[in-house]
Chains A and B, each alone.
Chain A
Amino acid sequence: MAAMLETDGLVAGYEPGLPIVRGASIRVEPQEIVVILGPNWAGKSSLIKAIAGLVPISGGAVRLAGAEITRVPAHRMVQAGLAFVPQTENVFPLLSVQDNLRVSAGGLPRAETAARIEEMFALFPDLARQRRLMAGSLSGGQRQMLAAARALIVRPRVLMLDEPSAGLSPKFVEMVFARLAEIRRGGVTVVLVEQNARAALAIGDRAYVLVEGRVAHEAPAATLWDDPVVAELYLGQRSDGGGR
């Protein structure tokens, strides 16, 4: 059976000849939560950005449910069923919460868009109260909620998030991860790049550890935390949260 999302020896980077992702192969099964970990500058963010079509790919392949999506332009990924939530600047600050969702609903018919927006507000009740507010005036946690709602509105098959907990208070981190577990129960496959390894592994099924743009280790999330190999790869960077 085909994986939901698969990369095969993916090579990608902004500058030609200077790849950041150097032959990364990952496989994500339907409805899994897969966490991508690794030391700073390991190419974690670049990997999912390349999958999303935002970092030029120079080698390898990306497949979504068996269909090749390597080098599909970023704006067509949504139609293909792949949604991405960037780490920062992931909402349109000068559009209202409602318009952020509306502009992300793309080609959905008007009535369906309205219905989907209400479903998103049901999933994130905090946002419903702020629907007419400019997204730029939301708190950090609310912004992450809006960014997730924005990605989910098109019913993606795979949701990729780049450090959703960065800069959030512990209370919000807990809330964001609880929501992600809920989203997975709704049938969405989740790929997560996270510095906050402890919180991410708590909800994840499996994890990949990326080092220098390649997969250095793969393990079930539950056992990874106690794995000596990982401890070594992380070189003592087992801090919860923190910088990039």
Chain B
Amino acid sequence: MTLQFLLNGLIEGSMIGLGAIGVTLTYAILRFSNFAHGDFMAWGAYSTLMLVGLIGSAVGTVAPIGPLSFGWPLILAGLGGMVFTGCLALLLDWLLFARLRARGQAIVVVMASFGASMALRNLLEFAFTSSPTYFSRKIQIARPIGLGIRITPDQTVLLGMTLVLVVGMHLLMTYSRTGREMKAVSQNPALARVVGIDLDRIVRMTWLIGGALASAAGLMVGVLVQIRPLMGLDMLLPMFAAAILGGIGSVPGAVLGGLVIGLSQAASVQLVGAEWRQAVAFVILVAVLLVRPTGLFGVQER
């Protein structure tokens, strides 16, 4: 047995955690499980891919940065993809969720997100076919970092990106006015209105942030694994498990939950076989719901 699974788990956990932040915020502030969140990841990856292509056709081939598999166009496109996906989430809310929310039945909104998920996924399959594609087909050499663990340059950089995004999100939630207002809305929307918080603005911020982080997670999956229309769907259960494990509404909880799920999945590949990998998230989800329904960082509401 090697300790490589620790690194694999960390990377998988980062992808799950980045996506789970959006899941947990949407759940806490809009009070519904958005099953289309995984598809935001796929749309983020594909929109980034399209932007890379656009940049490529404008400036020609750009050499990769040092030992990485990609150059500055991907970084720029990644940021563009985050903006695009944030706006996509906003658009979906304006077209669909906001209208249903106004009628006041939460379950209808959840069901609508199932439909939106299917529509978004099929649009991608229609436009890009269901066969996988890649940001780069360049082979990356993994370098040993001790204890029998090897890491590629891409992995190092993307783990760094995750760290920056997660710390940034935590600072935003803890120290900014918007972060405090988001927490206030998640705890008591009616009181939030009474103290002068514009609910619509907070809802828009939630979608923008959730969509952008899903896109970053999609970029990470795209660079380190592959890009497929179903990539987000496969991440959906682990993301929800992470959000619930961490405690709904908690950003650090979602990330920690993601890491726990990612590490458990990677460990299960080594210990019990790869075919059980998907079951792990499910088992953890059920166990948390039975033992501590509020999650690690969750607090019993009222």
Binds B, one of A98-106, A200-208, A212-220: A98-106
Q: Known interface pairs A92-B187, A94-B183, A94-B187. Does A106 touch B195 (Cβ–Cβ under 8 Å)?
A: yes
Which residue of B191, B196, B197, B299 contacts A89 across the interface (Cβ within 8 Å)?
B191
Q: Once the chains bind, are A52 and B183 in contact (CB under 8 Å)?
A: no
- By Cβ-Cβ distance, the 3 closest A-B pairs, closest first, are A78-B196, A74-B193, A104-B195
Can you identify 18 A-B contacts, CB atoms within 8 angstroms?
A54-B193, A75-B192, A75-B199, A76-B196, A78-B194, A86-B190, A89-B191, A90-B191, A91-B191, A92-B184, A92-B191, A95-B183, A95-B184, A95-B187, A103-B177, A103-B197, A107-B196, A136-B299
Over the window 193-213 of chain B, the binary record of Cβ atoms lying under 8 Å from chain A Cβ atoms (1 yes, 0 no) is: 111111100000000000000
Q: Does B156 contact A (CB under 8 A)?
A: no
Distance, CA A89 to CA B183, complexed state (A): 15
- CB proximity of A86 to chain B, nearest CB, Å: 7
Residues on B with C-beta less than 8 A from A73 are 193
Residues on B with C-beta less than 8 A from A52 are 194
Closest A residue to B299 using CB positions: A94
Closest B residue to A53 using CB positions: B193
Q: Once the chains bind, are A78 and B195 in contact (CB under 8 Å)?
A: yes
Closest B residue to A80 using CB positions: B196
Residues on A with C-beta less than 8 A from B199 are 75
**Which residues of A are at the interface with B, using a C-beta cutoff of 8 A?**
52-54, 73-79, 84, 86, 89-95, 99, 102-104, 106-107, 136, 150, 154
Distance, CA A182 to CA B299, complexed state (A): 36
Q: Once the chains bind, are B180 and A99 in contact (CB under 8 Å)?
A: yes
Main secondary structure of the interface of B (DSSP, over half): helix
Q: Does B39 contact A (CB under 8 A)?
A: no
Q: Once the chains bind, are B193 and A89 in contact (CB under 8 Å)?
A: no
Q: Known interface pairs A95-B183, A95-B187, A103-B180. Does A89 touch B302 (Cβ–Cβ under 8 Å)?
A: yes
Q: Does B12 contact A (CB under 8 A)?
A: no
Distance, CA A47 to CA B192, complexed state (A): 20
Residues on B with C-beta less than 8 A from A102 are 180
Interface residues on B, range: 10 to 19
Residues on A with C-beta less than 8 A from B198 are 75
Q: Once the chains bind, are B183 and A92 in contact (CB under 8 Å)?
A: yes
Q: Once the chains bind, are B195 and A89 in contact (CB under 8 Å)?
A: no
Q: Once the chains bind, are B194 and A103 in contact (CB under 8 Å)?
A: no
Q: Once the chains bind, are A89 and B188 in contact (CB under 8 Å)?
A: yes
Residues on A with C-beta less than 8 A from B183 are 92, 94-95, 99, 103
Q: Once the chains bind, are A93 and B187 in contact (CB under 8 Å)?
A: yes
Task: Identify the interface centre among A79, A90, A94: most chain B CB within 10 Å of its CB.
Answer: A94
Distance, CA A104 to CA B185, complexed state (A): 12
Residues on B with C-beta less than 8 A from A54 are 190, 193-194
Distance, CA A53 to CA B184, complexed state (A): 19
Distance, CA A54 to CA B299, complexed state (A): 27
Q: Once the chains bind, are A95 and B191 in contact (CB under 8 Å)?
A: no
Distance, CA A85 to CA B233, complexed state (A): 44
Distance, CA A149 to CA B193, complexed state (A): 17
Q: Once the chains bind, are B191 and A75 in contact (CB under 8 Å)?
A: no
Q: Once the chains bind, are B181 and A103 in contact (CB under 8 Å)?
A: yes
Residues on A with C-beta less than 8 A from B187 are 92-95
Residues on B with C-beta less than 8 A from A79 are 196
Closest A residue to B249 using CB positions: A94
- CB proximity of B32 to chain A, nearest CB, Å: 20
- CB proximity of B173 to chain A, nearest CB, Å: 11
New A-B pairs, 14, CB < 8 Å, besides A74-B194, A92-B187, A102-B180: A75-B193, A75-B194, A76-B196, A77-B194, A79-B196, A84-B194, A86-B191, A91-B191, A92-B184, A94-B187, A95-B184, A103-B181, A103-B183, A107-B196
Residues on A with C-beta less than 8 A from B190 are 54, 86, 89
Which residue of A75, A90, A150 contacts B197 across the interface (Cβ within 8 Å)?
A75
Distance, CA A95 to CA B183, complexed state (A): 8
Over the window 156-199 of chain B, the binary record of Cβ atoms lying under 8 Å from chain A Cβ atoms (1 yes, 0 no) is: 00000000000000000000010011011001101111111111
Q: Once the chains bind, are A93 and B302 in contact (CB under 8 Å)?
A: yes
- CB proximity of A108 to chain B, nearest CB, Å: 10
Residues on B with C-beta less than 8 A from A136 are 299
